[in-house]
Amino acid sequence: MSEFNNVSIVKQANVYFDGKVNSRTIRFADGAVKTLGFMQPGEYTFNTADPELMEILTGEMDVLLPGGETITVKGGESFNVPGNARFTVQVRTASDYCCSFLK
């Protein structure tokens, strides 16, 4: 899906890591929440509350998943992260992403 319809967007940006990672929150009528964001090259560690589906739209990164497995993810690919977990991304090239919060 290349676009979302009938959504609400939070105007305030989510800004992390001195502005190197930022996103906007999107709320759907059914209660679903996603963020659309952009990461500059670098290494970033995130903590999750809910399980997440991370779709990488463009770019490339290595992802250290909970449990120690490292995968390489490129534009058009995705990965899942469990809730109440930590994961680290080593962004190789500027990356556009969509994060879906799963419940």
Task: For 54-73, write each residue's pLDDT tens digit.
Answer: 999 999 999 999 999 999 99
Region 36-55 average pLDDT: 97
- Identify which of 50, 44, 67, 88 has the alpha carbon closest to the alpha carbon of residue 35: 50
Question: What pLDDT score was predicted for residue 17?
Answer: 97
Phi-psi region of 92 (alpha: psi -120 to 50; beta: other; left: phi over 0): alpha
Greatest Cα pair distance, the chain, in angstroms, is 39
As a whole-number percent, the residues of the chain with pLDDT over 70 amount to 99
- Identify which of 51, 2, 42 has the alpha carbon closest to the alpha carbon of residue 22: 42
CA 92 to chain centre: 15
Which domains, ranges and CATH numbers included, belong to the chain? Answer: 7-101 (2.60.120.10)
Query: Contact at 8 Å (CB) between 33 and 23?
Result: no
